């Protein structure tokens, strides 16, 4: 069995993270001073008391930034340090630089921030009503919605209130900067986006990008929380190194990380769905109010994906989805596994649930009946190809005896008593590619050393998802050698330039294809040399299999090691760069149509729950999944992604409650007040794979990282059904998470 590349180091505790790399002896430590109020004008920052503390080296504010005080990646609306206004509690106002982390934290409490407070806005509907949007609202429209509603046998309407989610990566945000020659800065950052960090740090310094080198060995989890929000910490370390000429490090403690960083976007939504008497969905209309928080961050891109996934896996000929990124005084919300998809899908599943009540047709029948098939068109104009909605549904239904599960639940519920069972199915359809077409590019740099060992650098960041394991296996297979010859280097901006974030589940697709491109170039040279030494007219029929050069299917005397050494001695270039840009992608934001995705990932999950209707508690009995995997490069890694994604999805809709005060303060800012899934919480999970190769994925593989999270949504509807089985009139608002306090029976 192919192991996770990092497994051996992880279990021995030998894996290195940012603050494990041996620190330079003169390293300084940072703490951030955040705004005490959620909205206000900044009247002054008094650093006298902090500076007076022995061991405090400096306190920096906005005026100490040599370049541009700006880190907004999509929209330039985010100052690195607030200059005149604060917009959320924890909004960075100053950084303290001290000889020890403890001193830095203590001095931070001595910095006096004077703010004239204003009333914060925390609700996206309120921001929308005031017209306070991050960027103009967008509408995706297909067919004629108004006409279609007029001819529907059933029309249902409703509202959703969907909470955010904390990423809870084990390794909190952190970065280390070391000054080099001529003002150069070397950065170790726990980021999914080394290039974004490089660009922002250079911008803040007012220097070109080549003055900053970013190196990322691995992350102790990112989950989207380090796609954009690792940047400011790296910039703080950069500023400190620039000002002091010494290395500087910042490591957030958990409470500061929870208070200061953005999360999954909470959404509010209105929906309306129209169906024929037979249960065909004819029309769907939704308005999505995204709670963006105070700054744009990635909110507009997240919103775009909510628009794309607003109809999930369903065929709906007439659609109008209107979505707005609403500015509030919470932390700037950001990427989180699923990236807006989960919220869009929760809303359409809620509409289907209402539709089931109105039509009397069970929800799973409505779902199954309306699944997309090949030849259909998504509401954004992309043709549905290689659809696996029906096939994964039918596979799961047969293998896991779905009818029997419904019968068993009904039989249980008919007995009366205090418990009720609910069964729900959650199909998913998730588009693979960055929705911003230009981001779908990757580079790889391959070195073969004279001894036959191989070093591979790509733009892929290892964050536990196993990209290094997959890239190593892709390279080993393409080179025809054993994978232990291949070392995956730290992700570094001097080896691979302009890299896209490791995100959108596309890291292996993009960097794997770039690796294959580099290998094709290198093998071209090696095959030519082999043909020459073997006295063949052409390279046709030359292949390296199990480390032996084969000619027309027959092994030769030439091993990988011999060929590589000969190439070196013959002055053949043993390094190659590869580049990949996903073909056939386009999207026109004027018409809101195009082909934004290389392909879609499909699957179906079945959820069984038992609700104790006296106590208002529930047990998740099982989750059973048929997942569209493509041909896996590493089945164990992929299974881990499915189970991990599912756990995060289940937690999002049941346990994880971000509580905010009206003043915009996060109240659940410790793990004692924010409950995330643990081993006890997780139900038995059964996973089946369909393994049809994906033509654009390396060796037929498919992206796997994010889609399984959305299976989790199914459990919310299973719990709802169980409650309704006890009391059909019980009020169950479409509010997530379904925490115990929300179950009113």
Q: Minimum distance from CB of 339 to ligand MTE (Å)?
A: 7
Q: Minimum distance from CB of 709 to ligand MTE (Å)?
A: 8
Angle at 355 between CA 350 and CA 356, to 5 degrees: 100
Judged by CB under 6 A, the chain residues 320 through 379 that form the site for ligand LUZ are: 335, 339
Q: Minimum distance from CB of 343 to ligand MTE (Å)?
A: 15
The span from the CA of 409 to the CA of 722, in Å, is 9
Q: Is 187 in the site for ligand LUZ (CB under 6 A)?
A: no
Q: Is 224 in the site for ligand MOS (CB under 6 A)?
A: yes
Do 223 and 190 form a contact (C-beta atoms < 8 A)?
no
Q: Minimum distance from CB of 195 to ligand MOS (Å)?
A: 14
Among residues 325 and 634, whose Cβ is nearest to ligand MTE? 634
Judged by CB under 6 A, the chain residues 461 through 520 that form the site for ligand LUZ are: 503-504
Is residue 706 annotated as a catalytic residue, yes or no?
A: yes
Q: Minimum distance from CB of 343 to ligand LUZ (Å)?
A: 13
Q: Is 305 in the site for ligand MOS (CB under 6 A)?
A: no
- Residue 625's contacts (CB-CB under 8 Å, 6 or more residues apart) are 396, 603, 604, 605, 606, 642, 646, 685, 686, 687, 688, 708, 711
Q: Which helix (H) or strand (E) holds 402?
A: helix 402-414
Among residues 430 and 558, whose Cβ is nearest to ligand MTE? 430
Q: Minimum distance from CB of 110 to ligand LUZ (Å)?
A: 39
Burial status of residue 112 (CB atoms within 10 A of its CB: 0-12, 13-18, 19 or more): middle
* 347-to-123, 358, 588 alpha-carbon distances in Å: 18, 17, 25
Name the binder of 305 from ligand LUZ, ligand MOS, ligand MTE, none, CB < 5-8 A by kind: ligand LUZ
Among residues 486 and 503, whose Cβ is nearest to ligand MOS? 503
Name the binder of 580 from ligand MOS, ligand LUZ, ligand MTE, none, CB < 5-8 A by kind: none
Burial status of residue 419 (CB atoms within 10 A of its CB: 0-12, 13-18, 19 or more): buried
Q: Is 339 in the site for ligand MOS (CB under 6 A)?
A: yes
Residue 541 Rama label (left phi>0; alpha psi -120 to 50; beta): left
The neighbouring-strand residues paired with 159 are 270
DSSP strands (E only) in 118-191: 138-142, 154-162, 174-179, 185-189
Q: Tell me the residue nearest to ligand LUZ as measured from the CB.
A: 339
Q: Which helix (H) or strand (E) holds 662?
A: none
Backbone CA torsion sign across 686, 691, 695, 696: positive
Range in contact with ligand MOS (rule: CB under 6 A) among 27-35, 136-144, 334-342, 473-481: 334-342
Q: Is 465 in the site for ligand MOS (CB under 6 A)?
A: no
Binding mask 188-217 for ligand MOS (x = CB under 6 A): ----x-------------------------
Binding mask 480-519 for ligand MOS (x = CB under 6 A): -----------------------xx---------------
The neighbouring-strand residues paired with 185 are 179, 212
Among residues 442 and 567, whose Cβ is nearest to ligand MOS? 442
Size of the site for ligand MOS (CB under 6 A): 11
- What tokens does 206 get? 């007012």
Backbone CA torsion sign across 583, 588, 594, 597: positive
From 171, 349, 657, 706, the catalytic residue: 706
Residue from 463, 461, 458 nearest 442 by CA: 458
Range in contact with ligand MOS (rule: CB under 6 A) among 170-178, 331-339, 658-666, 685-693: 331-339
Name the residues that contact ligand MOS, by CB under 6 A.
192, 222, 224, 227, 335-337, 339, 503-504, 706
- Residues with catalytic annotation? 706
Name the residues that contact ligand LUZ, by CB under 6 A.
227, 298, 301, 305, 335, 339, 434-436, 439, 503-504
């Amino acid at each position: 069995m192919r192991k996770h590349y990092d497994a051996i180091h992880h279990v021995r505790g030998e894996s290195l993270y940012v603050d494990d790399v041996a620190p330079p002896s003169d390293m300084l430590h940072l703490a951030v001073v955040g705004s005490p109020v959620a909205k206000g004008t900044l009247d002054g920052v008094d650093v006298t008391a902090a500076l007076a503390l022995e061991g405090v080296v400096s306190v920096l504010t906005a005026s100490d930034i040599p370049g541009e005080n700006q880190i907004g990646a999509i929209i330039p609306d985010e100052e690195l340090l607030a200059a005149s206004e604060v917009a959320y509690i924890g909004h960075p106002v100053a950084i303290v630089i001290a000889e020890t982390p403890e001193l830095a934290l203590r001095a931070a409490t001595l910095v006096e921030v004077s703010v004239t407070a204003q009333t914060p806005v925390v609700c996206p509907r309120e921001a929308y009503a005031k017209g306070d949007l991050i960027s103009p609202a967008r509408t995706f429209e297909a067919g004629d919605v108004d006409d279609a509603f007029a001819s529907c046998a059933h029309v249902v309407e409703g509202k959703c209130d969907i909470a955010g989610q904390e990423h809870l990566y084990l390794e909190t945000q952190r970065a280390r900067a070391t000054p080099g020659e001529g003002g150069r800065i070397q950065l170790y950052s726990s980021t999914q986006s080394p290039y974004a960090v490089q660009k922002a740090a250079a911008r803040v310094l007012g220097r070109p990008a080549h003055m900053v080198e970013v190196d990322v060995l691995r992350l102790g989890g990112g989950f989207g929380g380090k796609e954009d929000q690792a940047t400011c910490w790296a910039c703080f370390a950069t500023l400190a190194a620039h000002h002091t000429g010494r290395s500087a490090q910042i490591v957030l403690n958990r409470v500061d990380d929870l208070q200061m960083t953005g999360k999954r976007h909470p959404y509010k939504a209105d929906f309306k769905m129209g169906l024929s008497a037979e249960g065909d969905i004819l029309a769907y209309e939704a308005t999505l109010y995204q709670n963006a928080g105070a700054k744009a961050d990635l909110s507009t891109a997240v919103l775009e994906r909510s628009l794309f996934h607003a109809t999930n896996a369903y065929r709906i000929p007439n659609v109008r989805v209107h979505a707005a990124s609403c500015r509030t005084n919470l932390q700037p919300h950001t990427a989180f596994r699923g990236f807006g998809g989960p919220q869009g899908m929760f809303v359409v599943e809620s509409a289907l649930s209402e539709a089931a009540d109105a039509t009397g047709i069970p929800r799973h029948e409505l779902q199954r009946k309306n699944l997309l098939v090949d030849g259909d068109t998504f509401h954004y104009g992309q043709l549905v190809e290689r659809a696996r909605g029906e096939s994964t549904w039918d596979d799961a239904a047969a293998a896991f005896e779905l009818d029997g599960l419904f019968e068993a639940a009904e039989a249980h519920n008919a007995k009366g008593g205090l418990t009720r069972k609910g069964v729900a199915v959650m199909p998913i359809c998730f588009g693979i590619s960055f929705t911003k077409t230009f981001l779908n590019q990757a580079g790889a740099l391959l070195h073969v050393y004279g001894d036959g060992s191989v070093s591979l650098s790509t733009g892929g960041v290892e964050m536990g998802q196993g990209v290094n394991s997959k890239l190593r296996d892709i390279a080993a297979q393409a080179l025809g050698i054993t994978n232990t010859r291949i070392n995956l280097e730290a992700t570094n901006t001097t080896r691979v330039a302009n890299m896209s974030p490791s995100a959108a589940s596309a890291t292996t697709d993009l960097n794997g294809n770039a690796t294959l491109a580099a290998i094709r170039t290198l093998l071209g040279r090696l095959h030519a040399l082999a043909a020459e030494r073997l006295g063949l007219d052409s390279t046709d029929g030359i292949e390296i299999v199990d480390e032996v050069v084969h000619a027309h299917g027959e092994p030769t005397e030439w091993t990988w090691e011999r060929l590589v050494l000969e190439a070196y001695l013959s002055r053949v270039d043993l390094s190659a760069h590869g580049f990949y840009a996903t073909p056939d992608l386009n999207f026109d934001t004027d018409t809101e149509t195009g082909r934004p995705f290389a392909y879609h990932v499909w699957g179906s999950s079945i959820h069984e729950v038992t609700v104790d209707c006296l106590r208002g508690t529930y047990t998740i009995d099982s989750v059973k999944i048929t997942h569209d995997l493509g041909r896996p490069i590493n089945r164990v890694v992929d299974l881990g992604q499915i189970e991990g994604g599912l756990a995060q999805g289940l937690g999002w809709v049941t346990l994880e409650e971000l509580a905010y005060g009206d003043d915009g303060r996060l109240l659940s800012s410790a793990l004692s007040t924010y409950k995330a899934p643990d081993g006890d919480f997780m139900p038995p999970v059964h996973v089946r794979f369909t393994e049809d190769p994906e033509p654009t994925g390396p060796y037929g593989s498919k992206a796997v990282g994010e889609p399984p999270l959305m299976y989790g949504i199914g459990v919310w509807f299973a719990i709802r059904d169980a409650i309704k089985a006890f009391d059909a009139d019980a009020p169950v608002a479409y509010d997530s998470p379904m925490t115990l306090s929300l179950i009113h029976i």
